[in-house]
Every structure is written in structure tokens, then in C-alpha cells.
């Protein structure tokens, strides 16, 4: 069994935040060793001529040895992806050499997530002090020629914070200051995918009339960021309409590709990078099954989520898990993933309580 490329991401240290929207799920942090990373690389190496090894799939650069890890993952990998534009505000607030290091790697833009004012942002990030760290990081980024890009997740519960964000962007003069360092300021908002921790917001999920509550300046910035003409292209369609579309869709799907990305959690359970690392998508434990069996499980669609997608027509998944009385907005692909997760949980409940 050979793949054109395999990317394997090991959750060595986890994340300092406990974001209420986290699609990756809030799970305990690990404290793995460099040897664990090399073991994971060694396990997958026989199955591809193009291996990329990554030392995290949650917070960037959270481990104190982040610079060493940057070199180590390069040594273990055939392909090298540039540093993501996701960065760690936690690290920036504690290590003044971090942002200059990012700049030295050629990072030109960095994405930060804000939910409103200090109280709102700290609440949604799940950590007191997060908002202040974001503001301090913005200043550091600009000092080192990196343009901040702000993202906001919106729910009915924080729509009233959007005017604060609009005013903050103006107060910090981000448009002009990004231009001054040769960059471009960007902002976008969206509801995120309804999975992982974010699914807890289903009850306050945005509906079409909420679009009128978004300040026009933030709508214009969001449309520009996505290259979209209409907020419906960004936020999707109401659930009742998606249910109608899906009711006629008899397709099944496989997510298997020749260049998969895998998430490996701190306990060495392996998941395809398609949905929240959770039992629904688990391919098995690397330590007990080995990479060959894990990869076979992937190719044979054996994780519960893959199996459902591959064998149950979407129409039937929608009939069991969709809500035709809801006007919540979803992008079609995100909604299908939400349905599969919900369907798997419903099936599990039925197994336990026949
Ligand atoms: S969204 Fe990112 S920063 Fe927040 S808990 Fe998840 S991995 Fe950590």
C-alpha cells in the first residue's frame, strides 16, 4: 500500500486555549517527546515516498521547544509547508523573540480570532487574558512587518459585539498600518463548521434575518476576503432548504485520497483530517494496530463516520438527522458533515438502547 503523499500531524502539546468554537475539540493537553514524533514518522515512512511530519494540529508553536521542532519536522519530512498564518498569541505574549522568528520565516500575515470586547473574547476563547494578548500580539506583528488578519465567529449570542469589533479596527487604524508595512489588513466573519465544540452553539446558530444585524463595514470586509458577492455565499443556506435538497440526494461518498492528512492525538489514536478527531472518525491506535492496519482502515472506510458516508445514502442520513423546521444557515458541505456526526451518534444511541 503506497500513497502519493502522507501528512501526519501529532498533537504533542495541545493548546493553551479552550475555545468554545474549536472544531478540533477541547481535549486534555499532552506532553510528548521528540522521540514520539520520530516514532510516528518511522511508522508511516514505508507507505509513501513523500512524507510530511508536523508536530501539532492544535495551537501553533505551543511547545517551548518550538524552534527545535521546526527543524526536526523538516528533517523528518520530504515536503516542507511554510509556517501557517495561524500563530500563537499565547506564545507571543510570553516570548518576545517569537514574532521576530515568525518574520524570519517569511510570515507576512497572521490570523487572530476575536469575538468582541475583552469579556466576550475571553469567554469564547475560554481563557482570561486572551483578549489582551491578542491586542499585544497585533502590535508586535505590525512592528515586525506582519499584517494581522482578524476572524470572528458569529452566533446570535455575540452579534451585538460586532459594532465593537468594527470600531476597534478603526481605532487601531489597521488598514493604514498594514499598508505601511507593505501588507493588507483583512477581516472576515462566519459561523464556522457545526462540529467539535462549535456544535454546542446550534441553539444560537445564525439565521437569515441575523445578516441585517451585521455592520455593513464588516460585511464589505468579509465579502472582499472571500471574493464573494453575497453573504449567502459565505454563510450558506437555511437548514430547511438544505434538507429539501438532500432529500433528493442518493449519493454516498468516500473521503479517501492518495495524499491523506492524518491527525494523531496524544494517545496515538489516528483520525483522517476531515472531521473532529473523535471516536466517530477514529482509524485505530497507532501503537496497538500499527500504521499498515490504520492505513487499511482508512482506505476501506472503516472509521464509523467514513463507513456511514460510504454506505448510507445522504438522503437517509438527512431524513434521520436533519431538522426541516430550522432556518439556521450552513454551507452545504459543512451541513453534510454535521449530519454525518449527528447520524453516527443517533445510531450509537440506538445500539445502546434498542
Ligand atoms: S480553536 Fe485553535 S486555539 Fe482554540 S482551542 Fe482549538 S486549537 Fe486551540
Mind listing the pLDDT tens digit for each residue in 321-337? 999 999 999 999 999 99
**CA–CA separation, 136 vs 8, rounded Å?**
32
Quote the cell numbers at residue 119: 469579556
- DSSP class of residue 144? T
**CA angle centred on 34, ends 292 and 146, rounded to 5°:** 105
Q: Which of 78-87, 194-203, 225-234, 267-276 bottoms out in mean pLDDT, i.e. has the lowest?
A: 78-87
Report the separation in Å between the CA atom of 112 and the middle of ligand 1, taken as the mean of its atom positions: 11
- The residue whose CA has the least distance to atom 1 of ligand 1 is 22
Atom of ligand 1 at shortest range from CA of 24: 6
Contact call for residues 107 and 146 (beta carbons, < 8 A): yes
Structural domain harbouring 184: 82-235
Contact call for residues 286 and 280 (beta carbons, < 8 A): no
Give the pLDDT score at 203: 98
Atom of ligand 1 at shortest range from CA of 58: 7
Of 13, 16, 17, the residue with max ligand 1 atoms within 8 A of its CB, to mutate for a pocket test, comes to 17
Contact call for residues 52 and 78 (beta carbons, < 8 A): yes
What's the pLDDT band for 1 if we cut at 50, 70, 90? confident
pLDDT at 152 over 90: yes
Backbone angles phi, psi at 88, to 5 degrees: -105, 110
Give the pLDDT score at 145: 98
Give the pLDDT score at 352: 86
Count of domains in the chain?
1
- How many other CB atoms sit within 10 Å of the CB of residue 52? 22
Q: 1-4 long-range CB contacts below 8 Å, 24 or more apart?
A: 1/47, 1/292, 1/295, 1/296, 1/299, 2/47, 2/48, 2/49, 3/47, 3/48, 3/258, 3/259, 3/260, 3/295, 4/48, 4/50, 4/258, 4/259
Residue range 245-271: average pLDDT? Answer: 97
Select from 11, 8, 5, 37 the least CA-distant residue to 24. Answer: 11
- DSSP class of residue 187? E
Give the pLDDT score at 2: 96
CATH number of the domain where residue 140 is located? 3.20.20.70
Report the separation in Å between the CA atom of 14 and the middle of ligand 1, taken as the mean of its atom positions: 9
pLDDT at 80 over 90: no
Residue 127 lies in a domain: yes
Mean pLDDT, the chain, as a whole number? 97
Residue 288 lies in a domain: no
pLDDT at 312 over 90: yes
**CA–CA separation, 27 vs 194, rounded Å?**
17
Residue 76 lies in a domain: no
Spell out which residues line ligand 1, taking CB within 6 angstroms.
15, 17-19, 22, 24, 58-59
- DSSP class of residue 1? -
Kindly tell me the burial class for residue 49, based on how many C-beta atoms sit within 10 Å of its own C-beta (0-12, 13-18, 19 or more). Answer: exposed
Residue 227 lies in a domain: yes
In the sheet with 147-153, reading across from the earlier edge strand, the strands are: 109-113, 147-153, 186-190
Report the separation in Å between the CA atom of 22 and the middle of ligand 1, taken as the mean of its atom positions: 5
Quote the cell numbers at residue 71: 527543524
- Chain segment 259-306, per-residue pLDDT in tens: 999 999 999 999 999 999 999 999 999 999 999 999 999 999 999 999
Quote the cell numbers at residue 134: 491578542
Angstrom distances, CA of residue 255 to CA of 77, 183, 223: 24, 36, 29
Of 11, 22, 60, the residue with max ligand 1 atoms within 8 A of its CB, to mutate for a pocket test, comes to 22
Report the separation in Å between the CA atom of 294 and the middle of ligand 1, taken as the mean of its atom positions: 26
Angstrom distances, CA of residue 283 to CA of 9, 58, 338: 14, 19, 19
Atom of ligand 1 at shortest range from CA of 15: 8
Report the separation in Å between the CA atom of 341 and the middle of ligand 1, taken as the mean of its atom positions: 20
Give the pLDDT score at 87: 97
Give the pLDDT score at 327: 98
Residue 161 lies in a domain: yes
Atom of ligand 1 at shortest range from CA of 26: 5
Give the pLDDT score at 7: 98
Residue range 254-258: average pLDDT? Answer: 98
Residue 122 lies in a domain: yes
What's the complex ipTM?
0.99
Contact call for residues 171 and 164 (beta carbons, < 8 A): no
Residue 349 lies in a domain: no
Residue 46 lies in a domain: no
Report the separation in Å between the CA atom of 62 and the middle of ligand 1, taken as the mean of its atom positions: 11
pLDDT at 354 over 90: no
Amino acid at each position: 500500500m503506497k500513497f502519493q503523499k502522507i501528512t501526519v500531524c501529532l498533537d504533542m502539546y495541545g493548546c493553551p486555549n479552550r475555545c468554545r468554537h474549536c472544531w478540533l475539540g477541547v481535549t486534555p493537553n499532552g506532553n510528548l517527546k521528540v522521540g514520539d514524533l520520530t516514532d510516528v514518522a518511522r511508522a508511516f515512512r514505508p507507505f509513501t515516498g513523500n512524507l510530511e511530519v508536523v508536530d501539532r494540529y492544535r495551537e501553533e508553536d505551543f511547545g517551548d521547544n518550538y524552534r527545535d521542532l521546526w527543524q526536526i519536522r523538516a528533517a523528518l519530512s520530504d515536503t516542507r509547508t511554510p509556517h501557517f498564518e495561524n500563530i500563537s498569541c499565547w506564545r507571543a505574549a510570553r516570548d518576545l523573540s517569537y514574532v521576530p522568528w515568525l518574520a524570519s520565516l517569511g510570515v507576512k500575515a497572521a490570523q487572530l480570532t476575536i469575538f468582541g470586547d475583552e469579556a466576550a473574547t475571553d469567554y469564547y476563547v475560554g481563557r482570561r487574558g486572551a483578549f489582551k494578548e491578542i491586542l499585544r500580539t497585533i502590535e508586535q506583528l505590525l512592528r515586525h512587518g506582519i499584517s494581522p488578519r482578524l476572524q470572528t465567529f458569529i452566533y446570535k449570542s455575540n452579534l451585538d459585539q460586532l459594532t465593537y469589533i468594527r470600531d476597534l479596527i478603526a481605532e487601531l487604524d489597521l488598514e493604514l498600518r498594514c499598508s505601511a508595512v507593505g501588507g493588507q489588513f483583512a477581516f472576515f466573519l462566519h459561523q464556522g463548521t457545526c462540529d467539535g465544540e462549535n456544535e454546542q452553539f446550534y441553539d444560537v446558530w445564525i439565521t437569515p434575518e441575523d445578516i441585517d444585524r451585521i455592520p455593513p463595514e464588516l460585511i464589505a470586509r468579509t465579502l472582499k476576503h472571500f471574493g464573494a458577492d453575497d453573504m449567502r455565499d459565505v454563510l450558506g443556506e437555511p437548514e430547511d432548504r438544505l434538507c429539501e435538497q438532500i432529500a433528493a440526494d442518493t449519493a454516498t461518498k468516500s473521503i479517501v485520497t492518495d495524499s491523506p492528512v492524518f491527525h494523531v492525538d496524544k494517545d496515538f489514536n489516528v483520525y483522517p483530517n476531515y472531521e473532529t478527531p473523535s471516536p466517530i472518525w477514529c482509524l485505530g491506535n497507532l501503537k496497538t494496530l500499527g500504521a499498515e492496519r490504520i492505513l487499511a482502515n482508512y482506505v476501506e472506510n472503516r472509521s464509523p463516520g467514513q463507513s456511514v458516508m460510504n454506505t448510507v445514502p445522504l438522503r437517509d442520513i438527512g431524513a434521520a438527522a436533519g431538522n426541516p423546521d430550522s432556518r439556521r444557515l450552513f454551507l452545504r458541505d459543512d451541513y453534510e458533515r454535521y449530519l454525518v456526526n449527528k447520524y453516527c451518534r443517533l445510531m450509537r444511541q440506538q445500539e445502546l438502547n434498542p
